[in-house]
Amino acid sequence: MPASEPPPLPVSEMPLKPVVTFLAVTFAWSWGFWALPVLAHRGVEMPWELSRWALAGGPAAWGPFAGAVVVALMRGGPAHLWAFLWRATRLDFGFVWYLVVFLTFPVLIYLAVLFASASGAMLEATTAMQHPGTIPLAFFVILLTGGPLQEEYGWRGTLLDPLQARFGALGASLVVGAIWALWHLPLFLWPNDAGPYYGRPFWGTLLTLVLISVLFTWVWNNTGRSLAAVLIFHTMFNLSHWVFPALEDDTAGLTLFGFEFALVVLVVLLFGPRRLIRRA
């Protein structure tokens, strides 16, 4: 049996060293690998296969996970690391939050596509819409190789709580969202097909990730800091963009941003900016 996860530290005992260490490892790892295709695109001679290997499906995307592992080892050695990794198996976060993590992004993104289509946008059916039987398999592929596993141990599992202790839930969410977006910046510096986001201006990703970071904190805090919940939430965000072509049309994209902004405002008003937890 794994060692139990220690309780969160009080605010007064939240050191900044783990945050700095996490960010240093994360950015050095990911940007170091992503520098290969950037340099190749700018004319530096290197094997194209090496550049392709360094894309999102390769080692670069594991930067946040690597940073989280280093911090966990710093905090308590192998036993603490094992307990930390094991937290992703805890699935007892309540039926209502299962609905939230599985349905929020599919509903928002589908409604944005529906609105754009009703407004006259000509959106082509995606591969997923043409072959819906592939969607369950795609869920697990995305979970394990498409971002959630590589990132959520870092952004929410390691970085979020120390920042919440200092800036509150809303402030920490905005900071994490900005860092999350900045981490993706090299993917915008060369033409690539690593995802549907990178053919668009970086500011769109920046604003979107800052917004949805608030929703991730909301889920994290209300599910007892469940890694499983944010892993599923992240998977459903990526999966929904694969299923519905919201980013293929400006109307759909702007509508989706408006829906996300409205939901964030509603969550902050109902749950409070300090903790994003609604209590009597």
Q: 276 lies in a domain?
A: no
From the number of C-beta atoms within 10 Å of its C-beta (0-12, 13-18, 19+), residue 109 rates as buried
Q: 280 lies in a domain?
A: no
Q: 51 lies in a domain?
A: yes
Size of the chain in residues: 280
Tens digits of pLDDT across the chain (280 residues): 344 444 444 444 456 889 999 999 999 999 998 888 788 777 777 665 665 665 545 789 999 999 999 999 999 999 999 999 999 999 999 999 999 999 999 999 999 999 999 988 888 888 888 999 999 999 999 999 999 999 999 999 999 999 999 999 999 999 999 999 999 999 888 776 656 666 678 899 999 999 999 999 999 999 999 999 999 999 999 999 999 999 888 899 999 999 999 999 999 999 999 999 976 4
CA distance 65 to 27: 11
Number of domains, the chain: 1
Instruction: Report yes or no: 170 and 17 within 8 Å, Cβ to Cβ.
Output: no
How far, CA to CA in Å, does 256 sit from each of 107, 211, 246? 10, 11, 7
CA distance 159 to 173: 10
pTM: 0.90
Residue 43's domain spans which residues?
11-271
Q: 278 lies in a domain?
A: no
Q: 5 lies in a domain?
A: no
The SS3 call for residue 170 is: helix
With a CB cutoff of 8 Å and minimum separation 6, the contacts of 17 are: 74
Q: 237 lies in a domain?
A: yes
Q: 113 lies in a domain?
A: yes
CA distance 109 to 123: 13
Q: 217 lies in a domain?
A: yes
